[in-house]
Amino acid sequence: MQRISDQLEQLMPHDLLGSVVETVGTTIAVGGFPAPVGSVVEIQRQSGKPLVGEVVGFRGELTLVFPLEHLNGVRQGSGVRLVRTVRSIPVGDSLLGRVVDAHGNCIDGLPQPAMTQRSPLDQDPPSATSRPRIHETFSTGVRAIDGMLTCGDGQRIGIFAGSGVGKSVTLGMMAKYASSDVNVIALIGERGREVNDFIERDLGHEGMARSVVIVATSDQPAIMRVQAAMAATSIAEYFRESGRRVLFMMDSVTRFAMAQREIGLAAGEPPTTKGYTPSVFAMLPKLVERTGRSAKGSITAFYTVLVEGDDTNEPVSDTVRGLLDGHVILSRAIAAKGHYPAIDILGSISRLMNDLVGAEFRNAAQVIRELMSIYRENEDLINIGAYRQGTNPQIDLAIRMRTEIDTFLRQAIEEKSSVAEAQQQLLQLVAKCGARPAPNAAALAKAKRQTQQAGA
């Protein structure tokens, strides 16, 4: 009972009133208002409904509030009222198939569902010692990932790419074909036009039926974009704690970082690395650590990272890559050849693959990686005709297998796959090498016999 009483005290605090002293950019400075950071407040306007904002910091005796809407109608002396000190959103199974905003309100034009449960936006991740080990594979439905970059149930992966390289299409394929019970998809800072494009074209009816889409478009205030990412994580945590296998996808963590940078600068933080404030690098690990496995369920997370000028070493990319359990790089050069999904296998890695698959599959993937690496190292010589066939058996094999490897790594949008199918095709692909003994002769000989029998 004491815990319930404490929660009610946080949700329904005693009246605290203040007034607007000044505005600086998009930040409102309030006097006589000692509300804690993270509190939700209402600001009276000259006309219309009150403006909702969040306390983000202090400057001297003034409390800094970042509004969730535009400042129209706010004047000096406008009254400010504390609403609550804990931010929370409604959660429940009724969210499946719906599109919601950062507050958990449905924005798809359908009636609002009745939900009695609420989940805080800010939650602590599961403790390090309570997290079970990841020992089961997770099928993404993308053959190149399942075969060459096998992921685990509860793993966290970054998808690094520039604009227009196929991130949304890849996420849509995962949402439709992945071996998850529930999909939670956060579209942070997207262009408004792209939201319906993603839902109708990439996600489709099949993917939407088991998904919750959380949207904060690029025109919304920075605080809304940050809260949308946190709300999406809270919704994913709700489904995980109910025992479900959750696929969580955020597009993109870069826009989340940019929104937090905007808030930090408005609150007076000094810009550090390439203009990003210290709070950005403090919030990124807090956000991604909330996903993963718990004692009840799992959240397998994919975070897209926009790389400026295709530079995967800029500050946000570098930080996120160090926090996650692997990364998938989408290459503009590969996409330019009409190869989709445009995954750069040699530049990508799954840190848990060796723990999840047997020796025969690890060795088979290594054979393909070696052949791809050999071809890439000698590609210029091959293309200009400077390489003479028969000079090097390994290069000869790489040239002969190139088309077969590309066919394995390509996948049409409507083509479904699984880990088992990808691994079987991988073994068959390595068996075709012929000129080079397979690392696990017994497994590959068996796959070769199966291929011959299927052809007969």
Residues of the chain with pLDDT under 70: 1-14, 309-312, 434-456
Q: Which CATH architecture has domain 89-356?
A: 3-Layer(aba) Sandwich (3.40)
Q: Which CATH architecture has domain 13-85?
A: Beta Barrel (2.40)
Rounded distance between C-alpha atoms, residue 124 and residue 121, angstroms: 10
Q: Which CATH architecture has domain 360-436?
A: Up-down Bundle (1.20)
Start-to-end Cα distance in the chain: 72
Q: What is the pLDDT of residue 434?
A: 65
Rounded distance between C-alpha atoms, residue 75 and residue 71, angstroms: 9
Q: What is the pLDDT of residue 446?
A: 45
Strand 211-217 and strand 182-190: the pairing is parallel
Rounded distance between C-alpha atoms, residue 19 and residue 357, angstroms: 61
Rounded distance between C-alpha atoms, residue 333 and residue 450, angstroms: 36
Strand 98-100 and strand 211-217: the pairing is parallel
Residue 104 zone, left/alpha/beta (φ > 0; ψ -120 to 50; rest):
left
Q: For the chain, how big is the Rg over CA atoms in Å?
A: 25
Q: What is the pLDDT of residue 152?
A: 95
pLDDT digits (tens, 9 = 90+) for 175-192: 999 999 999 999 999 887
User: Is residue 73 a contact partner of residue 47, using CB atoms and an 8 Å limit?
Assistant: yes
Q: Write down the pTM of the prediction.
A: 0.86
Rounded distance between C-alpha atoms, residue 167 and residue 175, angstroms: 12
Q: Where in the chain is the domain with CATH 1.20.1270.330?
A: 360-436
Rounded distance between C-alpha atoms, residue 352 and residue 21, angstroms: 54
Q: What is the pLDDT of residue 217?
A: 92
Q: Where in the chain is the domain with CATH 2.40.10.170?
A: 13-85
What is the biggest distance separating any 2 CA atoms in the chain, rounded to whole angstroms? 85
Rounded distance between C-alpha atoms, residue 221 and residue 26, angstroms: 9
User: Is residue 67 a contact partner of residue 51, using CB atoms and an 8 Å limit?
Assistant: yes
Tokens 């530079």 sit at which residue? 311
| DSSP label of 414 | T
CA distances from 104 to 58, 83, 120, 297, 298 (A): 28, 17, 11, 22, 22
Q: What is the residue type of 410?
A: R
Residues whose CB is less than 8 angstroms from the CB of residue 329 and which lie 6 or more positions away in sequence, other chains included: 160, 161, 312, 343, 344, 347, 348
241, burial (CB in 10 Å: exposed 0-12, middle 13-18, buried 19+): middle
Q: What is the pLDDT of residue 454?
A: 42
Q: Where in the chain is the domain with CATH 3.40.50.12240?
A: 89-356
